[in-house]
Structure 1
């Protein structure tokens, strides 16, 4: 795919405005896969990671999701290296609330002083004066929710955070959080074959809260030759991964998939899913199969 071919392709995914005032194209990009094994350390090829980020933006992506714990620090610094000074319409979301003990080791840590430290470091690593969307990566069960979100509200009042989001929460936790802060997004595990958090998505849709599904491309058995996904993919001259993303975009107007990859070819393939329009019959067939 040439540099200019399908420029601004992500626009075809439609637009969602976070809190009604921060518009993004609904198909974004997630940075977790830009780090080393176990989401720890530097990538094998940092220059390739920079190329992936730049290509995503060339293709119209203006919503980048990252976290201080990816690396740690590595992903945020790659975003800055690749994209700073940032385009005016680029929205960068980051997260805090995990301590890392090594590869594949994630420990919720929501003490207010830690969250403040991590937010301040994210500002520095990203090279911004204000974080567009700061998400509590996990609710720490050892710390009152009011203390965790209360610190983010203070950071918001100080102008260091524009909007606040949550990650991997229940409907009840979302309701409780809404009494403490204005929550504009929720990032939960959700895809074609894992819809355990359907109730959270439905709540987000009713409240006009962005729903950011992590691990959005999961097709498993459905993608095998001769399967239902395979047949529909053939009809659209598309890959099963593209169909999984098209299904998510069709599933709800508040859905903001952020497929991640360390490959330029795959980022091009993923964003091309924005142009796929499923028929009602195809959408229902995929829903039933998943």
Structure 2
């Protein structure tokens, strides 16, 4: 496994996005726990979650509780695992998502997340999404209060703009360690945020990093967990994958790692084989020519 930094913490260069284990069409708990254990066994030490990763109304924190059970039952040393959770979104149970960036809500949500995870302080707590009805500075100010109170050890922000990153850093200082935006070969509108994160030394955690690799392409992987795009199976990523004898997903993750040393992808998974495949992406060495070839084939 390769490693990267989030603040002052060293984590695996590939994390696990645990959302598919708790939302619609989630696996049964046995397979979910097996997936988390497979990630740990593969050397993954970053698990990404949120209190809103659940399916039905009334089960807030389903994913956090699942992760806590998996860590407790693993049997190995999990002291180096960073569980990054998020607050500020909700799920009423109708398939939709809500946003609540009110400071009092965020502080209560963080305390509840810490209790579900069974920790005295959350290693990384991220504001899930800006609330258009709450001034950004007030929401970020709640993270500052959580840092000062010791409820969280480090703070992050998600689904944000360049200006929001700069404002958050002015409020949080060194307490801000990460930015989590959607980013993949198919969706690259967060390039400015990635560049700024690298400039500021903030970890950049792409969510939905495998978006754009079609399910029909999976000759070496039984299923693609998470969103998939409508791109053809005959892309440059698939061609390079065939040349290396690996899955297209591994090439996508290797490409992401090559974008910047601050990038830490968190691909989702709902079965052990998928996260095992993703973790192997750190072994894929893309040449300068291959990276240029992939870049030249990107849409837009």
TM-score scaled to structure 2, two decimals?
Answer: 0.87
Aligned ranges 1:65-80 → 2 under 5 Å: 65-71=48-54, 72-80=60-68
- The equivalent residue for 2:28 is 45
- Does structure 1 conserve the Cα–Cα contact (< 8 Å) formed by 2:27 and 2:270? no
1:280 aligns with 2:267: no
Larger fraction in strand: 1
| Preserved CA contact (<8 Å) 1:190 1:214 | yes
- Shift in Å, 1:22: 1.0
| 1:84 Cα deviation after fit | 2.5
Structure 1 counterpart SS, 2:5: strand
TM-aligned CA deviation for residue 178 of structure 1: 1.1
Where does residue 7 of structure 1 map in the other structure? none
Q: CA deviation at 1:135?
A: 0.2
Over residues 73-106 of structure 1, what are the superposed CA-to-partner deviations in whole Å (9 max), with x where a residue is unaligned? 1110110010027612111100000122224311
The residue number in structure 1 matching 2:125 is: 134
Query: Does residue 1:224 correspond to 2:207, yes or no?
Result: no
Quote the RMSD (CA, aligned, Å): 1.5
CA distance in 2, matches of 1:157, 1:176: 18
Q: Distance in 2 between matches of 1:130 and 1:278?
A: 38
Query: Who is 2:11 aligned against?
Result: 24
In the other structure, the counterpart of 2:225 is none
Work out which of the residue numbers 159, 166, 170 in structure 1 matches 2:150. Answer: 159
Q: How many residues align?
A: 272
Stretches of 4+ moved more than 4 A in 1? 220-223
Cα distance per residue 1:39-75 (max 9 Å; x no partner): xxxx341111001001101110001110000013111
- Does the 8 Å contact 1:36/1:44 carry over to 2? no
Quote the residue 1:8 is aligned against. none
CA displacement at 1:257 relative to structure 2: 0.2
Structure 1 gap segments, 5+ residues each: 1-10
Q: Deviations over 1:128-157 (max 9, x none)?
A: 000000000011111122221112211111
Structure 1 residue 229: Cα displacement:
2.0
| Uncovered stretches (5+) of structure 2, i.e. residues with no partner | 55-59, 214-228
Equivalent residue number for residue 5 of structure 1? none
| TM-fit CA distance, 1:274 | 1.2
